[in-house]
Amino acid sequence: MLNIEDSILVVIDIQEKLVLASKYGTETAQNAVKLTKTANILNIPTIVTEQYPQGLGATLLQVKETLSPETFTCEKTSFSAMLTPEFAQRIQELKAQGKKQVILCGIETHICVLQTAADLIKEGFEIYVVKDACASRNKSEYKTGLSLLKQYGAKVTCVEITLFELLKTAKHPKFKEIQALIK
C-alpha cells in the first residue's frame, strides 16, 4: 500500500493540446488536480513533465495553479521521462531520500505514462498508475496501455483509493482537508 513517507507524485504531460485530443482529457485533468492538491497537503514531492511544450502547450492552467513552489517541472522530448537527464536526476535524488513509491498520472497512457512507468520499474520503484487521472486519444490504446502496465508490474489504481491509502485512517490530521477534494 501507499505510504506518505515513501511517495512521489509524477504528473506526465497534462498539457493543453493533449487534454483536448484525449478521450476524457478534461476529467483526467480534474483528477490530476485532486492528486496535486493532495500532494501539497501531505508534503509529497511532485514532478511535472511537459512533452515538447512549444508544440503541445504548457501544463494545463488548472493543474499548474495547484502546484506547490517546490514542484520540479521539466521539459522533455523523449516518451519515457527517465530519458530526460533532469528528470532522472531528480528521481534519483528522491530515491536517495527513501522515496520508493511513484504515483503516476498523465497523458498519454499508452505512450509516455507506459514508458516512464516501465523505466521506473527497472530502477526499482513501486509504480501506482492512477487510471482515472490518465488518458489516451482513444479507448483501445488506453485499455492496452493499462494492460501492459499491469504486465510490467505496475499497480493500477484510482484517485479515491490513492487518497485513502495515503491517509490510512479518518483520524489522520489532514483527513477532512483531503476528503473535501472528493466531495
Other beta carbons within 10 Å of 123: 13
Query: Please, what is the angle between helix 139-152 and helix 114-122, to 10°?
Result: 0
- What amino acid positions are annotated as catalytic residues? 13, 76, 112
How far is CA 65 from each of CA 17, 37, 153, 154, rounded to the nearest angstrom? 18, 10, 32, 29
CA-CA distance, 144 to 46, in Å (whole number)? 27
The answer to whether 82 and 88 have CB atoms below 8 angstroms apart is yes
The answer to whether 28 and 14 have CB atoms below 8 angstroms apart is yes
The grid cell for 78 is 523523449
CA 63 distance to own-chain centroid:
12
